[in-house]
Structure 1
């Protein structure tokens, strides 16, 4: 199965080892494909990534007939030099950021040995592409895991697909390992004895998918991204975590707002570590 529904989660980090920019990104499966695209194309803004069980950049070359190749291979039919040349052509045309930005950026690449959704050899091609730009790559290819997100305490069996959640209990904290690499290797690993005390907040995503459909009561269009950013800023500045912060609701938001945007879930989540709700400036990690 190819995961096509995204839920965006924003993790506001409290680490002092801030990367080149304030924004990093990671993703699972199709979210990993999107992650590679975002990091390679928007490298002026994004300075680190975690690519988890996903195919390489521009693998399908815009053709639906190549989807199976990007899942199962063979890798001999995925021309890495052509894919990187395509990126460079976008840079030359001014529609992608200079690849020089990517130098030394942290990149984490994961594939489980038992993955039969996106074959490991396909996932490993991400390493070929990112290494050509002198990024700081950490790979994780040896886990006896299937297609999904690994945890150390929740989910289905590690070696068998969890077709409901795609979360597998492999006694390994993948989220920590990804973020620890992206943020310099000095993060404190969470334990049962030291529970997280931050705040999860729900955000309504249809407006972000189709902002043109959102209008105020006086028919004047809202700058939806400013509205959302201001809400984040004000929430972080004033909220003391008590798990009582209300979900973000947007004027004029209806179910029809998401028509044509079926690739996203209705809701996304923002996680604030406690320090990030008390005036501390924190970078953002986007999980797809």
Structure 2
């Protein structure tokens, strides 16, 4: 006679194996070539995804028309204190680029904030070296920036410097929208009553503040859009990310997601890259971020493909236990020479290759 605990254990193991096999089957799907429009791509992200969106925008601006940076600091933020090369990058990430006055006993002077003027000069130097795109490419881009008044994770004084950084690079205020008046905690904003209350900072870091942030940022980048659909017509695919991974310490997951409206299977559509924040990737939330942030509903009505690259947590080598995007250098195992902010960074290269796959023509048309 089989004892009940043993039977339950076998059933649980069977369910795990079936789930793993199901995931393996789904993740074997190849990201399709859809002949998407090559010069209409944009990117956005929350928190670490916001930092990455800012980095990617500066590094690959020739391929983009805009960026949305939600609770994120400026490009190469952890390098923003001139001459401060002795402080570990991770320490700078969690202080200067999140809570600058976390350990200050003498108030909160601006000298502790990210130095956006200095970063703009660094960007000019890196552009001259060719490690990032020419900064002239930014001149006609649209930028959406958001910081919640109740955000205690990435303080508003940090996000203020994102705005200043773009201004120092010559962007006119008319192309920048800075939303900084909403009493929101640290999270992505929706109008879904089932999400966290607006001022919360808690799992899944998706907050109901009475508006769709996905729509707001996409409309700022692309101009007036059609009304969001109530029922999706397209397909959310889980695809194999491994062909796009290079390097040992990328922390990129084996799987990624993409939402493809039905019309985009037969017509050329635009591409928007949406980056999750820390603890929001597949291994933490499943498809909660990719289904619950409102991007798909706007995309379906407006011929937009949404690409959702995924990062997974890792305890050591690299040290990334919360599954964050790399804005402090873990993709080089936190050792110099650092390249997290350059075009050569493995995560940025992977995103670019995924976009290139979507804008390429199907094989039978080549």
In structure 2, what is the Cα distance between the partners aligned to 1:199 and 1:91? 38
Flag the structure with higher helix content. Answer: 2
Note the alpha carbon deviations across 1:129-154, whole angstroms, 9 max, x for none: 11232251011111111001111114
Selected match of 1:270 from 246, 258, 275: 258
Check if 1:188 corresponds to 2:246. Answer: no
Selected match of 1:284 from 250, 271, 280: 271
CA contact (8 A) 1:27 1:51 kept: yes
Q: Within 5 Å, which residues of 2 pair with 1:54-69?
A: 54-61=72-79, 63-67=89-93, 68-69=95-96
Pair member with larger Rg: 2
Give unpaired runs (5+ residues) of structure 2. Answer: 1-30, 80-87, 102-109, 276-366
Note the alpha carbon deviations across 1:5-47, whole angstroms, 9 max, x for none: xxxxx9x9xxxxx8x9232100110111111111112111122
Check if 1:76 corresponds to 2:76. Answer: no
Selected match of 2:42 from 8, 20, 24: 24
CA-CA distance at 1:56 after TM superposition: 1.4
CA contact (8 A) 1:176 1:189 kept: no
Note the alpha carbon deviations across 1:237-261, whole angstroms, 9 max, x for none: xxxxxxxxxxxxxxxxxxxxxx633
Partner of 1:49: 67
Note the alpha carbon deviations across 1:104-159, whole angstroms, 9 max, x for none: 21100001110000001111211111123225101111111100111111421211
**What TM-score results when the alignment is normalised by the length of structure 2?**
0.56
Partner of 2:337: none
Partner of 1:36: 54
Partner of 1:231: none
Determine which structure has greater relative contact order: mean sequence separation of CA pairs < 8 Å that are 6+ residues apart, divided by chain length.
1
In structure 2, what is the Cα distance between the partners aligned to 1:266 and 1:161? 28
Q: Within 5 Å, which residues of 2 pair with 1:1-288?
A: 21-61=39-79, 63-67=89-93, 68-74=95-101, 75-77=110-112, 78-132=114-168, 133-135=170-172, 136-153=175-192, 154-163=194-203, 165-184=204-223, 186-190=224-228, 194-210=230-246, 260-262=249-251, 264-277=252-265, 279-288=266-275
Divergent runs of 4+, >6 A = none
CA contact (8 A) 2:117 2:164 kept: no
CA contact (8 A) 1:113 1:146 kept: yes
Give unpaired runs (5+ residues) of structure 1. Answer: 1-9, 13-17, 213-258
**What TM-score results when the alignment is normalised by the length of structure 1?**
0.71
